[in-house]
Every structure is written in C-alpha cells, then in structure tokens.
Chains A and B, each alone.
With several copies, the nearest count.
Chain A
Amino acid sequence: MKVKLVFLGRLEEQAGYGFADISPDSPLDWPGLVEHLGSELAGAVGSEKVKVALNGALVADKYAITVNDGDEIAFLPPVSGG
C-alpha cells in the first residue's frame, strides 16, 4: 500500500522535504507510522503541539489513527502568529 506524508512549517525543514511517499505492507497505527520517520522527526511529530490531518481532515486524537492505503497524513506544527 501507499501512504503520502506531508510536513508543514519547520517540520518540512527538519524532514528535508515537504512530501514523502511510504509503502507499508499493511494499515498503520500511530507507532507504526512514526517508525517510518527518522528518530528526530519521530520525536518532533510526537509532540502534543503537532496536530495531524488525515486526508485533509484534522484528527482529534492523532495517537488513535489508522492509516490505510491511499491516505494522506499531514503533520502540522503550531501555526505562526504575527
């Protein structure tokens, strides 16, 4: 299966890219998802301050998501003020 990851704001800088496709063998839960990220990025997206959108919809509890084939997961750090 194929899953698209999207990194916004400074997470893009940390990831080194804005988008990435991963190809897991089966649906992923949160721990399974972050395993596909480098350890620094995994730590960053794990922060309570980083929100997650699944197929363009904000999820209430990112730790409870299930990611299926064709899904798009966006990692959203706090928005900038000013």
Chain B
Amino acid sequence: MSDVRLLTSSFDPAEELRAFTAALPMAGGIVSFLGQVREGGGIEALELRHYDPLTLPAMEGLAARVRVRWQLDGLLVIHRSGVLVPREPIVLVAAAARHRRDAFAAADFAMDHLKSESWFWKREKVGGEWRWIEPRAQDFEDIGRWR
C-alpha cells in the first residue's frame, strides 16, 4: 500500500500517522519523518511552488522505487504546496515494515530524494521580502549516499 499525496492546504501529521498505523497491524515498525516550517530565524512564511504535470507523478515514481528497493508493508508520502507559516507541516513520510532496518532506510531514502530531486521551488519571506531558496550542497551529498 502506497499513499502519495500533494496537498495545497494544511494537514494533521499525528492523525495521518494514526490512520497509517491502524491500517497496518502486521507491521512491526513504522519510521516517520515530519518536516515543519521552523519557528525563528525571522522567517515569516515559506512558499512551495510545484508544477502540476510533473510534481505528483514524480513523487509517485519515487514511492514506487522505494517499494522495489525495500520490503515494506506500507509507505506514506504527503507533501505540501502553497504558502505555509511557521509550525505548519511541510512533509510527512512514513514507512512501515516487518524489519526495522527496512523502515529506517526507506524513510531516509525517500526524504533525501524528496528534498533534492522533487519538483518543488521554495521561497521564504523574511522581513517582508520573499527570497528563493537555492539548492544546497548538503542535499547532493545526502543523495549521493544511495548510489
């Protein structure tokens, strides 16, 4: 079971995890990653833009690659688009597996690839000014671990 969603309004990560877990009683372990808009650093808002024809299909493609690579009982990928304020959830990935190592690796891999390869363009608002966020060298290093 893979559940991949691109949302344009806020979601509740705790409830999503509850529902995901409840649907997978045979999974021994569930690893999740939740990314939220950090409070502090003067960031007033974060905007994520996507391109409809590419963004969700690429997320679904990533989920399929993860499912081939690890033995999972379920995979959840939720990513926001639009304008977000501090404390709002941006991304939730959860991988359920019989074996703990598979769940950790799958969630970690999915996040590295979502961060560096998925079709989102981000800008942040600081002091009333929007500025685009550039790719980070760290993300390329992260993704390089899987090659």
A positions within 8 Å CB-CB of B: 6, 8-10, 12-13, 53, 55-58, 72, 74, 76-82
Q: How many A-B residue pairs lie within 8 Å, measured between CB atoms?
A: 58
B53 touches A79 (CB 8 A): no
Q: Which of B121, B123, B132, B138 has the most CB of A within 10 A?
A: B121
* B6 nearest CB across to chain A (Å): 14
- 12 A/B residue pairs, CB under 8 Å, sorted by A: A6-B51, A9-B49, A53-B51, A53-B54, A56-B53, A76-B119, A78-B134, A79-B118, A79-B119, A80-B122, A81-B133, A82-B115
- CB–CB A10/B139 < 8 A: no
A25 to B111, CA, bound (A): 45
Contact across chains for A80 and B53 when beta carbons are under 8 A apart: no
Secondary structure at the B interface, as helix, strand, loop or mixed, is: mixed
> Number of B residues whose C-beta is below 8 Å from A?
21
Q: How far is the CA of A72 from the CA of B52 in the complex (A)?
A: 12
| Distance between B7 CB and nearest chain A CB, rounded to angstroms | 18
B residues touching A (Cβ–Cβ < 8 Å)? 49, 51-54, 115-123, 132-136, 138-139
Given the contacts A79-B116, A80-B134, A81-B115, A53 and B53 also touching, CB distance less than 8 Å: yes
Q: B121–A81 contact, CB under 8 A?
A: no
